[in-house]
Structure 1
Amino acid sequence: MHLSVSDVSKTYDQRGSHVLALDHVSLDVAFGEFVCLLGDSGCGKSTLLQIIAGLEPASQGGILIDGRELVGCHPDTTVVFQEHGLFPWMTVLRNIEFNLKARGMAAAKRHEIAARLVETVGLAGFEKKYPHELSGGMRQRVGIARALATSPKLLLMDEPFGALDAQTRSAMQAELLRLWAAHRSAVVFVTHSIEEAVFLADRIVVMTPRPGRIGRIIDVDLPRPRDPTSEAFVHHVKIALETLHTPRALLAPS
């Protein structure tokens, strides 16, 4: 799957005035690529993700998937939000099966897929537990397993680890990379953490403060697994940090 964000702008009407959230954003994401959208709060990165997901219309421009304009939600796209969104009355297994059931898959087949994913995300033995019986990291694992159940070609993630403690967040980052390597979906991942972006991404798209534009795209050509204490890692963090602090007028236009 090839994703193309084509000259996207987004304007909101607030109390009779127009607020420009995104300003002429263009971006291409290739199949199997891991791209992070990095920026301060309010820069429009989550808005851009929602437009890519088909959950929010663009005011100008559009989204192309494999050369075709996106209208509504694409069947090969799945979104994971910071809030895991699990159904509290469903067990781990039933939550993972949910999207498969919604697509009309037979019970035996969806149970087989869900059971395999439970193993994949390290939750064997918790199949019959309910969300309130799990830790935050475990609930997010269930959310990711549910997202992967339909084998999406494009996985969109909006700060999925933002509410986790540092140790759990680090473990989930490593787990996500392991799952991505196995499934090879294209991933667009929103974060405001520079270290998280450098740890995860093939490319980091640094967005300017509102109105959101692409200030710079940083290629992260470090081998995985990445060592956050290495000189090369720290160098990439420095580049991203300097970009975030560079005045908008000095950044290359998107």
Structure 2
Amino acid sequence: MYKISEFSKITGLSVKALRYYDEETILTPACRDSETGYRYYSKEDFAKAQRILLLRSLDFSIAEIRDVLENCRDDSDLTCYLEEKRTMIQNRILKEKELIKKMNLYIKPNDREEKRMNYQIEVKDIPSVTVAAIRYRGKYDDTGKYIGKLYKAVKDQGAGAPIQCYHDAEYREEDADLELCLPTKKLIRHPDVEGKTLPAIRAICTTHVGSYSKLNMAYKAIFDYAGENGLACLTPSREVYRKGPGMIFKGNEDGYITDIIVPVSGGVA
């Protein structure tokens, strides 16, 4: 058994760190003197300390280290945790790159997509369309979970670009009321999708070219037009993805083409 001072020296962990890990139940000493309260560590504790040092060097948080130590039984388990952490870091890097890209738009204002876009607004009658549909609640980027199922159900009866219907008037982060539709040549009957007809509507329409992250500017142009012309915007609004990501690759986001369709009442067409 090792005294805490000895254990500190052989592990490279300070006494302060060892006491902290004890409090956090990450590295509890094998035994404690009931009279003096002195901590004593075993050879098994040394192996655990080595693992903690490894995880610390790989930027694992205290909560993550605890989770690994509680559930890791052997090297194969550890490999799985390291692979999962690597994926988390890779995703974080991607998000940070997106943040840098967004910052650059403001460092170089002339590059802003919303400045380049000149939205052409139209008020027109949209005819009814037969679709296969899946309605769900979730996040806006959950579309990929359902689009494959739609195409599989429709097979060779597809008749146009995918349409996303937004049944909420406001922006919702977690539980948006969404309906993904695929136009069809005829009414589809399938257990996984609903065959239906989207009704004819009068709507304000525009086309957005570029990343989905800037679609809000197209909606702003529509709402501005509605306000200036005495039109009341209704739900569900629609987005028609005339050109977008593939099933596997995202492709060039700057080339995405999305039609925005917002039903309206009032005013004069």
Which TM class, normalised by the smaller chain length?
under 0.3
Larger proportion of helix = 2
TM-score (norm 1): 0.23
Taking CA–CA contacts closer than 8 Å with sequence separation of 6 or more, which of the two structures ends up with the larger relative contact order?
1
TM-score (norm 2): 0.22
